Structure 1
Amino acid sequence: MKQIYVFILVTTLTSCEYFNVKKTTPEAILNEELQTFNWNEVDVYPSFSACDSLETKDEKTACFTDVLTKHILRYLENDSIVVTQDVNETIYLQFQVSETGFLSLSDVKLDSLLVQEIPNLENLIHSSLDSLPKIYPAIKRGQQVKTEFELPIIIQAN
């Protein structure tokens, strides 16, 4: 019987540690959450209404870039651009989509040949963005967020 009393006594003395609750502050919870947060990815990429029927994130991303690229190229094709030599260059456009879905062109990386052959190319690209369909902003954890991305476009002219 003494052994049972000793066992119960030892169990109660050592089990008190299990009932201690560690208190955490909201700041500690926030800091822990921010450590696991991936700032470089969004849950839903910016989108056009034409891309709504697609299922996966990769399909929607590809659709968005495809619609944007085709729109810019169509605009450039409709403008009569005259070149003195063949052009087959890639330009890199850096875009920013705001939380409200406003698309802005932040930077254009052009080759010197393109600048020489088509001096108003950057203005044409800016003008093409005026007639874009409505853009739905990216979403991260249920919130609309600002995103930045780079889009390569191949310019060919004969």
Structure 2
Amino acid sequence: MKQICVFLGFLILMSCEYFNVKKTSSDAILKEELQTFNWNEVDEYPSFPECDSAISKQKRKQCFEYVLTTHITRFLQKDTIVVTQNIEDTLLLQLQISEKGELSVLHIKVDSLTSQEIPNIKDLLLHGLDSLPKIFPAIKRGQQVKTEFKLPVIISVN
């Protein structure tokens, strides 16, 4: 009987190993969760009020780009730009939208010929962006986030 009790006690002690729980810190869980994110994609792209009716993520992105490009184009068409040669150029605007929906220009890439013919092109673009309607920031996992993107703007002056 003693041998059976000792054997049962030994089995119980050995089976306690199955009940050991590995303690995981909240920092480790957060670190693991952050590694699963795709930081290059957002759940919702930045948008303008008129883009709220777009249902899909892709349609909202297209609407945002269309409104932004159309606004810049209309602003540039208001000014009379005089050039000595025809200009066909694609400018590249590198933009950032903050978590609060504030737009800032990080860089404007302009061809040297365009800069020579229209020396104030960067100022014109910046002034055109100043009068944009309210921008809703991008959303990632329910949080408003900062986003950066590049927007091509085609300049055609004859």
The 1:58/1:14 distance shift into structure 2, 3 A limit, reads: farther
Identify the residue that residue 82 of structure 1 maps to in structure 2.
82
Query: Which aligned pairs between 1:13-92 and structure 2 lie closer than 5 A?
Result: 16-92=16-92
2:117 matches 1:117 = yes
Question: 1:62 Cα deviation (Å)?
Answer: 0.8
| Distance (Å, rounded) in 1 between the aligned partners of 2:106 and 2:66 | 19
Distance in 1, matches of 2:68 and 2:14, equals: 66
In structure 2, give the amino acid aligned to 1:29: I
Structure-2 residue corresponding to 1:147: 147
Aligned AA for 1:23?
A: K
- What's the counterpart of residue 3 of structure 1? none
Correspondence for 1:100: 100
Deviates more, 1:32-41 or 1:8-17: 8-17
What is the match of residue 4 of structure 1?
A: none
Please say which of residues 69-78 and 33-42 is displaced more in the overlay. 33-42
Could you tell me which amino acid in structure 2 is paired with residue 42 of structure 1?
V
Q: Which amino acid aligns with 2:116?
A: Q
Specify the SS of the correspondent of 2:75. helix
* Residue aligned with 1:136, SS: coil
SS in 2 for 1:135: coil
Two-structure CA RMSD over aligned residues (Å): 1.7
Gaps of 5+ in 1: 1-7
Aligned residue pairs total 151
Q: Tell me the equivalent position of 1:157.
A: 157
Relative to the length of structure 1, the TM-score reads: 0.88
The percentage of aligned residue pairs carrying the same residue is 62
How many angstroms apart in 1 are the aligned matches of 2:66 and 2:98? Answer: 19
Give the aligned residue type for 2:36.
Answer: T
Tell me the CA shift for residue 137 of structure 1. 0.6
User: In the TM superposition, what is the alpha-carbon distance from 1:17 to its structure 2 partner?
Assistant: 4.1
Matched residue type, 2:121: L
Name structure 2 gaps, 5 residues minimum.
Answer: 1-7
3-state SS of paired residue (2:62): helix
Cα shift at 1:42: 1.1
Residue 114 of structure 1: SS of its match in structure 2?
helix
